[in-house]
Amino acid sequence: MHTDEHISVRRRPLNKMALSGALVVVTMFVLALCAPLLPGDPGAVDISRQLQPPGPDAWLGTDDLGRDVLLRIAYGARISLLVGFVAVGIATFIGIILGAVAGYYSGWVDSVVMRFVDVMLCFPSFFLILAVIAFLEPSIWNIMIIIGLTGWMGVARLVRAEFLSLRERDFVMAARGLGASDVRIILRHILPNAISPVLVSATLGVAGAILTESALSFLGIGVQPPTPSWGNMLIAGKQTLGTAWWLSVFPGLAILVTVLGYNLLGEGLRDLLDPRL
């Protein structure tokens, strides 16, 4: 049964949505990785180049301090992707552990874990993040940890549902009959068969984490200047939106395209990995 499903997944062609999202994601990765190779310093102030419109000397223009917008967007991509992947990694790790424990053992363990999940879901995540950051220093590491610690509930519910479905399957019963420990059954037998929805959720979660970081930086409690972040670039361009539109338009487009790319990739993976579709 499982072999047939894997064969059907391999034979199913990637749809255009997944390919489009993957192209955007790879492009942003390349931009972030190549940022140090670009000439110039994203924090270098040059008043003689103040508010230059897009042109041959600065493809995306310069800001009010003469800093190159393209260079700052490239370095901002590094920040956004770092926040996205580390925050989602933390959330996925916590969600897999709690969801696996709740789904495998069920009973009172499941009740306790899921009531904790319900309590966490009662708090709006963004306002919870704001409340926590109010007591901490607004740094990139604090932001990544807080986003991760407040974003694991969806993963936990997905993993729990998969474990409840798989724990009574024949291959799990056979592993129990052979004397395999609970940890071995969870890690070697059930989790690999439950990982597909987690991959989809993680892909979509990266987009959400990037949006959250941008929103926090826009509000001034995220990544602090002079470190370039798409969010703090947006708030810096707000004051000159009427005369220097490129300061807000290009960072905004970077956020839009990146988030859209991860959403398209996540939806495409969902179609690809779900044998029922």
pLDDT digits (tens, 9 = 90+) for 246-255: 999 999 999 9
19 close to 269: Cβ distance less than 8 angstroms: no
Token pair for 123: 């708090």
Domain boundaries, given as residue ranges, for the chain: 70-273
The pLDDT assigned to 219 comes to: 86
Q: What share of the chain is helix, strand, coil (3-state, %, to 5)?
A: 75, 0, 25
Residue with tokens 């007591």, as numbered in its chain: 135
Token pair for 142: 């604090």
Q: State the DSSP H helix or E strand holding residue 120, giving kind and residue range, or none if neither.
A: helix 107-122
Per-residue pLDDT of 124-157, as tens digits, reads 888 888 888 878 877 888 889 989 998 999 999 9
- Looking at the domain 70-273, which fold is it? MetI-like fold (1.10.3720)
Q: How many CA atoms lie within 13 A of 206 on its CB side?
A: 26
> Of how many residues is the chain composed?
277
Residue with tokens 């407040």, as numbered in its chain: 150
Reported pTM: 0.86
pLDDT score of 273 more than 90 = no
Question: Is residue 73 very low, low, confident or very high in pLDDT (cuts 50, 70, 90)?
Answer: very high
Question: Is residue 240 very low, low, confident or very high in pLDDT (cuts 50, 70, 90)?
Answer: confident
The pLDDT assigned to 8 comes to: 44
Token pair for 55: 């042109």
Question: What's the mean per-residue pLDDT of the chain?
Answer: 86
The pLDDT assigned to 132 comes to: 82
Query: 208 Cβ partners below 8 Å, 6+ apart?
Result: 151
User: What dihedral do alpha carbons 246, 251, 257, 259 form, nearest 10°?
Assistant: -160
CB atoms within 10 A of CB 202: 21
The pLDDT assigned to 9 comes to: 44
Per-residue pLDDT of 172-222, as tens digits, reads 889 888 888 888 898 888 988 888 889 999 999 999 999 999 998 888 888
- Of 214, 206, 215, give the one whose Cα is nearest residue 260: 206
pLDDT score of 277 more than 80 = no
Please tell me the distance from the alpha carbon of residue 11 to that of residue 177, in angstroms, as a whole number: 34
Please tell me the distance from the alpha carbon of residue 236 to that of residue 248, in angstroms, as a whole number: 8
